[in-house]
A and B are shown apart, each in its own frame.
Chain A
Amino acid sequence: MPGLKPVTYEQYALANGLSVILHRDSASPVAAVMVMYHAGSRNETPGRTGLAHLFEHLMFKGSEHVADGDHFRLLQEIGAMVNGSTSEDRTNYYEVVPSNCLELALWLESDRMGFLPGAVDQAKLDNQRDVVKNERRQNYDNVPYGTSYETIAREVYGPGHPYSWPVIGSMEDLSAASLEDVKGFFRTYYAPNNACIVLAGDFPRNQAMDWIGKYFDPLPRGITLTKSALSPAVLAEDKHLVSEENVALPRLFLAWPGPSRGTRDDALLDILTTILSSGKNSRLYRPLVFEKKIAQSVNAYTEGKEIAGMVTIDATAKPGTGLGEIEKCVHEVIERLFADGVTDREIEAAYNGKEAQLAGRLTTALGIAGGLATSFTLTGDAENFNREITRFQGITPEEVLAAGRRIFSSRHMTLNVVPRGRSSLASPAAAWELTYAGLPAPPAPAGTP
């Protein structure tokens, strides 16, 4: 079976610890530059949540040699695509530029890596704090089910866990962030030895290496950070929540503590959740949406992050359907899954879907830069990007089922989001007593956290 061609790249480090990864491809006259810092919301402390992301905003407000507004202006003058993003585990910044504008991007990235604090003042902080509060309103508070994930993460990961607070932060913590908090975050995490820079696309290799040396080599190394230990979530007991919100349709969320990124179980559950909810024939979609028509949509997904993970099923009820009925049906599907097993054809279809998905990411310079940067940052090895497809090869139905048992017979949390005044549509608190809990969950294979 012909597969996708592996992404070729070369990698080296500067004396200050900055990792450099270069992938050349002249298919389009563009170059993507991505700088990824190994810092995210999990590096925050309770009471100062949202700092990593607020910081990301300040990175676009100029640095000591780049005036406020110039970062965007100079890049938009050449038609570049520009953005950044923050997750629990990392923060990235990127620009996709016409291929001969590479040096501009390197100059801008190096200046904010080395010279940000001198350009940050209270006025900029206050302004971006307001922008971020609006981002929170825009993408979470004023969106149906927009705060559900926040609730689920809080409950599944539990108090004090670095994944238990939202990346966007809380309004109170955003208000509390001080200039000193921001500068302290920069000093600790925004150092060359805690970052990588990836170039992908059409650029002259030697010239690019010269420029990287010119702009990044002079930046000083920061303190050495220790690698975080895995910290899987554990639920001591099932949790059941009901939340009345401004929504027309009730939605049920079922969430289990899951494996972290890149583990064998992460791959197995990725395949299993695809079999559960991808396509009309999938195990959940077909009965809930297609046949019984009690749900408008259903999704199952596994989310392996750096130090822990979570597996979630959500289903939105049709008008008039209670979430208890939905939960019962989900429950039956999982019981039947354990009784009947999964088929080779289901696994092959899921694999083909993964391959097509990856092929899509490989069509753009930015997709490749992001893949290499993420694998390097979160696993320490850029080559893991090339294993994004091989890790799904050779998976057996028995393995998939065993991974499913480990998850679905463990404790979980249930979140019922219902229209205001309609708490009667929520699922009953004690519904998920599994008859298949009698089946012993097979022990995790050695090496799986």
Chain B
Amino acid sequence: MTALNAPSRLLDRTRRPPLEPLPRVTLPPVQKRELSNGLPIRLVEQHSNPQVVISIVLQSGGAVDPRGKSGTAALTAELLDAGTGSRDALGISESVEFIGASLSFRAGADATFGSLLTLNRHLGEGIALFADILANPIFPLREFERLKAHRLTSLVEQKDRAATVASNAFMRVIYGEEHPYGMDPSGTEESVSGLTRDDVCGFYAEHYGPSNATLIVVGDTTMADIISLLERQLGHWKGAPRRAAITIPPPQAAPRRVYLIDRPGAPQSEIRIGSPALARNSPDYFPATVMNRVLGGQFSSRINMNLREKRGLTYGARSAFIFLKQPGPFMVAGGFTGSGTGEAAEQLLLEIGAMHREGVTDQELEFSRMGLSGGFALSFETPFQVAGALQNIVLYGLPDDYYERYIQSLASVTSGDVMRVARATLDPDAMAILVVADAAGTKGGLESLGRGEVIMLDTGGAPR
């Protein structure tokens, strides 16, 4: 079969096709229930594929690790599938593998997330496993020792990765090691070395329970299919007593200094610039997001166009607001040609400064709002994407109609809003610069930024 149309000799290729109005995104309804023990259930049906995601959001993560015991929440999450009253670690793993499911428990700064992805024909077995792991872990000492050693080795390995070293040290520099966001949730060699099985059991007893969690189910199933299963498997779960919301102190301003971690012979320099900025539930979320898309949030952003497409200094440079329960960081990041390290840092500061002083043009504002609206249509294809949206609502206390109003919220952002947020969050003089690079080749260029003597740090981000 050949094409239906004869080739048009009159086709004017310089004319781009007209822009059509964006499709209306119809969000599937969220069904709400509660188990007899009070555990909230949220279900979104998605029948286009035979998959189901079961996900738990626990309102406690690395940020509530006991002082000096950074890594506790992460290790607790990882140890959940290491044994229950009726299954040992190998048995659990075998059962999960056999049904082709993927199981994961991990702690971020603000929360612990667990998920099981399975084909719907294995859903009964999947729910039984997931519930058992969540409600009945016994944290066998041998498994604790094994995973602790594994984590310690991972922390050693992590030091080989310049990008990870840079991002972790950056958080430590701008929040300080006293602040919960200053420490990576996976902990440090020192803190993890000191952890005991009692720390893990203690964290579980204090934080894991139906009053501190929400269970989210998305995929090819119905409430009728799952509710009795969930009630039978999790309805008895008592867990931790209800607790007051944990307050994390607001961050201090970032020091206006340049920090350097030496990586002798490194062919590239990882640069991070930024400061603590905005919380996820901030009213400035939408203006900040619109602004960031112009500054460094997409390929055709100012930062990427300048540093990559104009100067060829990088494979890609970007900026982001990382929105957390408390103000999370604004951060510019990228890997840059070693010989161009000073130039790259200088240009990044200039781009941040220009946005801070002048905001966005009307054209940029429209471009950004439209792009974010169009991207919204792409955000609900997979069960994980839908579950992620529900997690945001649950974790950050966003209104239930947050996503219904999303397009409208974007449309209402004005250039004045962007200007106000740029003034408040993007002052380059209130930002720290963290670089992982070959010190011998880059220190001179960094000192010429006029931020005083470069401060040398070790790979963990502590002063040398």
Contact = CB atoms under 8 A, between A and B. Distances in A.
Interface residues of A, number: 96
A76 interface: yes
B19 A356 contact: no
B50 A78 contact: no
Interface stretch (B131-139, B172-180, B205-213, B261-269): B261-269
Given A12-B1, A79-B374, A137-B337, A28 B381 contact: yes
B332 to A, nearest CB: 16
Contact of A363 (B22, B118, B316, B381): B381
A364 interface: yes
A213 B4 contact: yes
A246 B160 contact: yes
Contacts of B268: 134, 137-138, 141-142
A354 to B, nearest CB: 8
Interface string B1-38: 11111111101011011011111110000000000000
A69 B309 contact: yes
Given A134-B313, A218-B8, A356-B102, A72 B156 contact: no
- Most chain A CB inside 10 Å of its own CB: which residue of B19, B97, B121: B97
Given A141-B268, A142-B267, A29 B24 contact: yes
Contacts of A435: none
Interface stretch (B88-96, B193-201, B416-424): B88-96
A101 B20 contact: yes
B157 A345 contact: no
Contact of A79 (B20, B94, B376): B376
Interface stretch (A278-286, A328-336, A371-379): A278-286
Contacts of B160: 144, 246-248
A177 interface: no
Most chain B CB within 10 A, of A2, A132, A353, is at: A353
Interface stretch (A92-100, A228-236, A406-414): A92-100
B48 A25 contact: yes
Interface string A120-155: 000000111111111101110111100000000000
A360 B51 contact: yes
A77 interface: yes
A41 interface: no
B85 interface: no
Nearest to B50: A359
A14 B4 contact: no
B119 interface: yes
Contacts of A126: 312
B50 A96 contact: no
Contacts of B154: 296
Nearest to A202: B23
B17 A104 contact: yes
A54 to B, nearest CB: 13
A20 to B, nearest CB: 8
Contact of B49 (A213, A286, A318, A362): A362
B93 A134 contact: no
B12 to A, nearest CB: 9
Contact of B377 (A12, A79, A104, A286): A79
Interface in B392-416: none
Contact of A134 (B265, B335, B381): B335
A132 B308 CA distance: 10
B378 A111 contact: no
Contacts of B323: none
Interface in B45-99: 48-51, 89-90, 93-94, 96-99
Interface in A215-273: 215-218, 246-249
A387 interface: no
User: Which of B3, B7, B11, B374 is the most central at the interface, judged by chain A CB atoms within 10 Å of its CB?
Assistant: B3
A213 B7 contact: yes
Contacts of B371: 76-79
B17 A103 contact: yes
Most chain A CB atoms below 10 A, which of B20, B162, B367, B383: B20
A30 interface: yes
B101 interface: yes
B227 interface: no
B464 interface: no
B15 to A, nearest CB: 9
Given A79-B371, A134-B268, A212-B3, A139 B315 contact: yes
A81 interface: yes
B290 to A, nearest CB: 12
B230 interface: no
Contacts of B1: 12-13
B298 A76 contact: yes
Nearest to A30: B378
Contact of B382 (A82, A138, A215, A364): A364
Contact of A296 (B2, B122, B150, B376): B150
Nearest to B384: A363
B452 interface: no
A27 interface: yes
Given A14-B2, A27-B48, A134 B337 contact: yes
A141 B24 CA distance: 45
A338 interface: no
Given A98-B23, A353-B97, A131 B337 contact: no
A172 to B, nearest CB: 15
B319 interface: no
B4 A134 contact: no
A429 to B, nearest CB: 26
Contacts of B153: 249, 296, 318-319
A77 B16 contact: no
Nearest to B93: A280
A4 interface: yes
B282 interface: no
B202 interface: no
A12 B5 CA distance: 13
Interface of B: 1-9, 11, 13-14, 16-17, 19-25, 48-51, 89-90, 93-94, 96-102, 117-119, 121-122, 146, 149-150, 153-154, 156-157, 159-162, 265-268, 298-300, 305, 308-310, 312-316, 335-337, 367, 370-378, 380-383
10 contacts: A2-B121, A65-B14, A104-B17, A115-B13, A127-B312, A130-B313, A134-B312, A137-B335, A144-B157, A351-B100
The 10 A-B residue pairs with the shortest CB-CB distance, nearest first, are A79-B374, A130-B312, A79-B375, A352-B100, A213-B5, A356-B100, A27-B48, A144-B160, A280-B93, A213-B3
